[in-house]
């Protein structure tokens, strides 16, 4: 097998376009999953059963169905109900919603790991409930769950190629399109594989740096 550097140089403009889309989907999907996951967690802790029950049903359904099925549903079924979004927006929503059901469990574990004495101290100081959550509980809980959230960022990165099935040309989509047009598969796919490794490694370094900063 001969390595063709001309194929690499020809693919690079497509690679940069795919990289931009991949990073955009990853950043927005991560932000959505972290935010929704925290919302689900707080809703599940409310004393009202009529809030907890539907949230539990929805999150269990999303967590136990494949991301690929959810992508197809959001992209092909919702337009029949009058809800139409761009392919990238649909992909971001699918990834964010799917992984929010996992980050929800991470937040739950972090909150439960906060010592009972912290709750008792907040009660003794007569802190309002909102103040207790924002100033006492959540800062300690989030500090504990940063490593686990970082793992899900990398998992979301590795799932971004699924967006190709709804016409989003992320990195793998660009590689597949270029390979089919030029009948050169080795170089584009190898470049994409190396790119995923490097991005995953950089993401892990950033999460470790954030963890160290929060521990201070």
CA torsion 53-55-59-60 (nearest 10°) is 0
Q: What is the pLDDT along the chain (216 residues), one digit of tens a residue?
A: 577 788 888 999 999 999 999 999 999 999 999 999 999 999 998 888 888 999 999 999 999 999 999 999 999 999 999 888 999 999 999 999 999 999 999 999 998 888 888 877 877 877 788 888 888 888 888 888 888 898 999 999 999 999 999 999 999 999 999 999 988 889 999 999 999 999 999 988 888 888 777 766
Token pair in block for residue 205: 């370094």
Residue for token digits 């909150």?
Answer: 111
**Which among 171, 196, 168 is positioned nearest to 89, based on CA atoms?**
168
Token pair in block for residue 7: 């194929």
Nearest-angstrom CA–CA distance, 160 and 103: 17
Q: What is the pTM of this model?
A: 0.91
């Amino acid at each position: 097998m001969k390595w063709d550097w001309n194929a690499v140089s020809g693919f690079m403009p497509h690679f940069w376009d795919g990289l931009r889309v991949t990073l955009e989907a990853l950043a927005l999907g991560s932000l959505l999953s972290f935010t929704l996951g925290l919302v689900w967690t707080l809703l599940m802790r409310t004393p009202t059963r009529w809030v907890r029950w539907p949230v539990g049903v929805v999150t269990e359904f999303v967590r136990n169905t494949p991301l690929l099925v959810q992508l197809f549903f959001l992209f092909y079924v919702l337009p029949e109900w009058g809800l139409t979004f761009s392919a990238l927006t649909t992909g971001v929503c699918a990834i964010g919603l799917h992984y929010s059901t996992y980050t929800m469990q991470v937040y739950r574990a972090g909150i439960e790991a906060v010592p009972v004495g912290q709750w008792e101290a907040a009660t003794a100081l007569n802190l309002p409930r909102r103040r207790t959550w924002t100033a006492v509980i959540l800062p300690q809980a989030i500090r504990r769950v940063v490593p686990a959230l970082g793992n899900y960022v990398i998992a979301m990165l590795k799932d971004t190629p699924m967006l190709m099935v709804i016409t989003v040309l992320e990195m793998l989509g660009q590689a597949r399109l270029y390979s089919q047009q030029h009948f050169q598969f080795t170089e584009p796919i190898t470049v994409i594989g190396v790119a995923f490794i490097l991005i995953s490694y950089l993401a892990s370094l950033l999460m470790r740096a954030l963890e160290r900063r929060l521990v201070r």
